[in-house]
């Protein structure tokens, strides 16, 4: 037996979507996490590509003796101690401000996959 969706629920949803949240239209407020997710997905995909290329170049240079991995780990440790807390505070600030909604997740996946 199929239970029909009451029309009052659909009316409530359309009423919420046509209203305002503060002074902004609610459709804009709902679309904002999707757009942020698209941008984040694009940036993360680009950063992963560049990171993988840099790791491959470092491994090849290490194999041929042009780069020693022991000196590189020391430099990476200084970068992490210098910029790690700043990056962590920005990430926590971002996730505190942007609501984790389905729009953000869908936008991130679309931005990551289709760019």
The whole-chain average pLDDT of the chain stands at: 80
pLDDT of residue 59: 87
Query: How far apart, in whole angstroms, are the C-alpha atoms of residue 50 and residue 43?
Result: 11
pLDDT of residue 104: 80
Residue 109 or residue 70, greater confidence: 109
Residue spans per domain, the chain: 38-115
Is the model's pTM score more than 0.85?
Answer: no
Long-range pairs of 44-47 with CB within 8 A, sequence gap ≥ 24: 44/108, 44/111, 44/112, 45/111, 45/112, 45/115, 46/115
Interacting residues of 113 by C-beta distance below 8 A, sequence separation 6+: 41
What value does the mean pLDDT take over residues 107-111? 87
pLDDT of residue 31: 80
Residue 13 has pLDDT above 70, yes or no: no
Residue 69 has pLDDT above 90, yes or no: no
Query: How far apart, in whole angstroms, are the C-alpha atoms of residue 92 and residue 85?
Result: 10
27-50 tens-digit pLDDT:
777 788 888 889 989 999 999 999
């Amino acid at each position: 037996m199929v239970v029909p969706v009451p029309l009052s629920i659909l009316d409530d949803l359309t009423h919420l979507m046509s209203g305002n949240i503060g002074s902004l239209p609610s459709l804009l407020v709902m679309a904002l996490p999707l757009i942020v997710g698209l941008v984040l997905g694009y940036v993360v995909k680009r950063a992963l590509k560049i990171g993988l290329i840099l790791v491959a170049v470092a491994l090849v240079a290490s194999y041929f003796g042009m780069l020693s991995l022991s000196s590189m780990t020391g430099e990476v440790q200084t970068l992490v101690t210098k910029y790690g807390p700043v990056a962590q505070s920005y990430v926590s600030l971002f996730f505190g401000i942007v609501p984790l909604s389905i729009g953000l997740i869908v936008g991130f996946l679309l931005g990551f996959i289709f760019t």
